[in-house]
Chains A and B, each alone.
Chain A
């Protein structure tokens, strides 16, 4: 484990990214312990600026504690992002794998479907979906997954296309293993590394999409996410800048750390590029 960390986090940027992301995860996990009770409670005078006694990051227009909201928000935001990522990767992997493995008409159909998603403006489509199903955490997760899976599917398809002609796959086929077995226990594990990298990007994008939806006023009103905080504070930037500045910063930090981790992952999983790529 230590060895893994040492080699994976050898780049300072990856290390920083990893530390930041892990601390966000930890904060999300212990949110209830840090700030017990609902973050929606009105606990103090409204509009207290940051660094007020007892309210490190100030309060909002209703007198709710922004620190508590940010801490609880990390949980909601991360859960939306993680769920959306899992769903995206699951749909993308299944469709990409099947279309790459079977080819022919299956592949053709799947590619038409991804073309469909390439043809329509994805953020707009996500917003339409959220508005149609009516905004909630679930509909936001679904919308993000629906507009994000095609890129994962393309990636997996490409990997499967190259892997399916390899000897070990041929051997498995000759050995009479079922298609599903070959696909899921032989081919996909070998496509894991690019998938991991793309998952980190999907997750970062999911956080950004959620915040964008909230910015436009279509977020879920029953859960404090960072996007929600920006959504509620966005009209008052000139008065209570901290209400949208701090959640915006939290999003920025998290997405940034995810990208740094993603970069680190891709370098670590595919060292060829950097080993041989070093310019003399």
Chain B
């Protein structure tokens, strides 16, 4: 790789780190502005306290230092990939996030895969005959799902599939109290995943359907497709080799942007279905003013997004020779 490219990538890396730093500093500051002193809350939960006792709590939790000092300590520990301790649980945050991350990833990745696998083909189908019966039906229905508040779709799904039909479990990630293993455990997980993942997917399917449809229509109107048609290429070949392939590009760009958000999970879905993921963890941390924990959720999700972006840039540099000149992307 030439030095120009390396330089470009290094610059990109530096910028990513700057953005990360901004995420930490800004969120740290915002959280400190929130009403409610964590030490006082803890003192209050004891039923009684005096000033000396509160001071002791502050000291125990490192809240006795000034805010800039706390920030400095925090950033320093982040630099060594140490997320610190949660105020409330007195356990390492890395452990706490590690316990919750798999659940979130299972849920969001499943929903993500479902929405791509269903949304893209349906979008392409809709675009084949714009304003035809299929298109109108598909866009109308998908717009409808897009318009439903997520918790609402979730509640409807629970009442229908769990209460009335009694087909699927309504909450949690596994059958509590049933020591399953192997295939049985996997099937149990799938059953629990069914409702939350499809609720989330229904929302995203409509997005991918619309994007794909628009992209296909865009490509269909482009000069080269017209040319291909004019020179009499068979429609199926035009469709496959020219339209679909080109239309997928914006869809994939959008999907890669979404990927990072998968880490943040969905607070609403996790609440409705009692899914033990990151979103709910972050929400509880907010309510309990567990600053370190909440900050870390922001931090971890930002790191992943930045990593994705950086990776995308790196790929871009490798395939696109124009970057050589050092032009900003």
Question: In the complex, are there CB atoms of A and B closer than 8 Å?
Answer: yes
Q: Residues of A with Cβ closer than 8 Å to B? A: 11, 13, 107-108, 112, 115-116, 118-125, 127-129, 131-132, 134, 204, 208, 211-212, 215-216, 230, 234, 237, 244, 248, 251-253, 255-256, 258-260, 263, 272-280
Beta-carbon contact of B127 and A277 below 8 Å = yes
Q: Tell whether B80 is near chain A: CB-to-CB under 8 Å.
A: no
Beta-carbon contact of A128 and B294 below 8 Å = yes
Chain A residues within an 8 Å CB radius of B27: 120, 128
Chain A minimum-CB-distance residue to B16: A115
- What count of chain B residues pass the 8 Å CB interface test? 64
User: A276 and B34 in contact (CB under 8 A), knowing A112-B19, A115-B19, A118-B305?
Assistant: no
Chain A residues within an 8 Å CB radius of B217: 273-274, 277
**Stretch with Cβ within 8 A of A (4 or more), from B109-117, B147-155, B181-189:** B147-155
User: A124 and B279 in contact (CB under 8 A), knowing A112-B19, A118-B257?
Assistant: yes
Chain B minimum-CB-distance residue to A114: B19
Chain A residues within an 8 Å CB radius of B218: 273, 277
Q: Tell whether B227 is near chain A: CB-to-CB under 8 Å.
A: no
A255 to B328, CA, bound (A): 38
Beta-carbon contact of A215 and B149 below 8 Å = yes
Beta-carbon contact of A216 and B268 below 8 Å = yes
Secondary structure at chain B's binding surface: helix, strand, loop or mixed? helix
Beta-carbon contact of A121 and B139 below 8 Å = no
Chain B residues within an 8 Å CB radius of A263: 139, 143
A76 to B229, CA, bound (A): 52
B138 smallest CB distance to A (angstroms) = 12
User: A272 and B298 in contact (CB under 8 A), knowing A119-B23, A230-B149, A260-B143?
Assistant: no
Q: Tell whether B52 is near chain A: CB-to-CB under 8 Å.
A: no
Q: Known pairs A132-B34, A215-B268, A216-B283; list 19 more (Cβ under 8 Å).
A: A115-B306, A121-B298, A123-B267, A124-B297, A127-B286, A129-B30, A131-B287, A204-B147, A212-B150, A212-B268, A216-B271, A234-B151, A251-B152, A252-B148, A252-B152, A256-B144, A276-B221, A276-B226, A277-B127
A152 smallest CB distance to B (angstroms) = 15
Chain A residues within an 8 Å CB radius of B144: 252, 256
Beta-carbon contact of B302 and A272 below 8 Å = no
Q: Tell whether B49 is near chain A: CB-to-CB under 8 Å.
A: no
A115 to B329, CA, bound (A): 13
Chain A minimum-CB-distance residue to B26: A116
A230 to B127, CA, bound (A): 36
Q: Residues of B with Cβ closer than 8 Å to A? A: 15, 18-20, 22-23, 26-27, 30-31, 33-35, 127-131, 136, 139-140, 143-144, 146-152, 155, 159, 214, 217-218, 220-221, 226, 229, 235, 257, 260-261, 263-268, 271, 279, 282-283, 286-287, 294, 297-298, 301-302, 305-306, 309, 328
Beta-carbon contact of A273 and B147 below 8 Å = no
A91 smallest CB distance to B (angstroms) = 16
Chain B residues within an 8 Å CB radius of A123: 264, 266-268
What are 27 of the A-B contact pairs (CB < 8 Å)? A118-B305, A120-B301, A121-B279, A124-B264, A128-B30, A129-B30, A131-B34, A131-B286, A212-B149, A215-B149, A215-B271, A230-B149, A234-B151, A248-B148, A251-B147, A251-B152, A256-B147, A260-B143, A273-B217, A273-B218, A275-B221, A276-B220, A277-B127, A277-B130, A277-B218, A277-B220, A279-B220
A230 to B151, CA, bound (A): 10
A151 smallest CB distance to B (angstroms) = 10
Beta-carbon contact of A116 and B130 below 8 Å = no
Beta-carbon contact of A259 and B220 below 8 Å = no
Beta-carbon contact of B136 and A13 below 8 Å = yes
A147 to B244, CA, bound (A): 33
B196 smallest CB distance to A (angstroms) = 15
User: A255 and B151 in contact (CB under 8 A), knowing A116-B19, A124-B283?
Assistant: no
Chain A minimum-CB-distance residue to B20: A119
